[in-house]
Structure 1
Amino acid sequence: MADISISDILQWDMDKISIVSLSRIPRTISLILAGIGLSVCGLIMQQMTQNKFVSPTTAGTLEAAKMGLLAGMFLIPASSMLVKGAFAFCFTFLGSLLFLFITGRIRFRNVIFIPLVGLMFGGILNSIATFFAANHNLVQDMNAWMMGDFSGILQGQYELIYVSLPAIIVTYLYANKFAVVGMGRDFSKNLGLNYKAVMNIGVLCVSLTVSTVIITAGSITFLGLVVPNIVSMVYGDNIKKTLPYVALWGAIFLLICDIIGRVIIFPFEIPIGMVVGFIGGILFLLLLLRKK
């Protein structure tokens, strides 16, 4: 830990400048991209499932990425972050497709019931991953990877998160189509939209973003749930209009949580995953009560 002031930068203190370029700037960029990516993912999933309480947290997406990361650690222990990210992406993509298949077969479309199914689905995936990890002595490594924490972000260890940028751009370009998909399969087909193709593109964007964020910084819960809902309450449900606000407030929310985690027990630091989980969990309960 080092104290760095504006005067240190202006006076070209090379030791302080190197700390900023190697640690502080990469950490800030990672926080912004992770906040944008996960918030946009939540918005996509809510449109695809026609449910405001579906997100990577309540759809088993994070748990599927966890299984993929575990598979990469087991099959290729010395693999790079890119290889582990590829495993996480494949499992996340398949897990998301399976969740959409399950929800598509559910006739009882209550707004609370679908995320409960997602939580149970995620619990099953998490149990399988934990059982496998326990039998191969990988529990500690897996938990270390999944702990949402940006304190170890350094230059050369965060660049993979840039992969989420194309997914965010595609989401913006397909915003109107995701809005139509949110009206249902029959409505989409009546308008001449290729429903299945748009759904697959949405799943691809979500899987790519979630897997890169998890490989870079670990699991961050509730972010993709609360930010789109709060933005929707303020700005409405026009996805083309609200998408920039979702991205902006997702980044701001994650930056605020990071500052709280670094200040509250200074000079020590609380992992940002715990801070976001605590604040996001409270907001999620408030949203549930408001919906009820």
Structure 2
Amino acid sequence: MADFLFLVSAASALIMIAFMTYLVIRRRLDEARNLQRGKRERALVQQLMDETSQPELSSYAGQERLVLSVIARVLELLRGSGRDRLLELVEEKGLLDKPLADLNSRKATKRLEAIRALETFNVTRVVAEFEKVMANDSELPVRMAASSALARLDQLPSARDTISLLKLAERPITLSDEVVLRMLAVRNGKAIATEANRTGSIALRAALVEALGSSSSNEVTKYFERWMRDDAVEVRRAAAKCLARFQHPLALAWLSRMAEDLDEGVRLEAARALHTLGLEPEVTLLAKMISDPAPLVAAIAQRFWPHTAAQICRSTL
């Protein structure tokens, strides 16, 4: 019995040693592969950044994904003719063909990977395929990924088409949706304001109003009176958030009224907006809000008031 236990212990020790040896060897091999990959990537980057010669890609045969990912990173660093040269190279070598084909894969994960691989390439074929995915893909996460990619490329459809294609009026608004709406607001604030007044979805209307904080269009200011009196508290809160970023001469007057809103959440957002704007009259209004009947609003005003006052003092020195 003792001999048997000894053999079992010895075998277990040998197995453990063999396993640890395997892990060490695998780690060394992984490090060697990563080192080699790093060298190849750096060599490729040097070729791509050199505008005096055409990159030699024959040695990267079968590594199209690696080449495409490196080119995508380099594109973010280039402007003008250097960027155009790389985009022409990508098209000439057919590097976009495989990920474009993967946009039609049966697997949603593969379609998402293809979008990530292509989202840096602002060329006609990619934009057209992203628009198809956004309109027709069966999976909402894939459609949202395509819309985010189009937003980064500044190639989104109109505000109305984007809202329709993503079914924003029929489901909860996500962080990705908010990013897309802000991008649309930068491009055309008036269109976003029009959709905010048109939609019957409270969640969408609130998201659209808040997105207008990224707009510089003064045409939307005529709607603030309506949004400040909206029956939905979500919209009134969104209007206060918008005013924190939307620099306008009437912002103080609007926020003064919102500081007396019946909803605690609206008053809270008004206090935050007043602090963000940091103008002298806001100090007086924040001081008044310290006596707000809602403990949270009063606490926020009390917290922001000295910081805002100090900010004003520094700006006048």
With normalisation by structure 2, the TM-score equals 0.19
With normalisation by structure 1, the TM-score equals 0.20
Which one has the largest radius of gyration? 2
Q: Which has the higher contact order (CA 8 A, sep 6+)?
A: 1
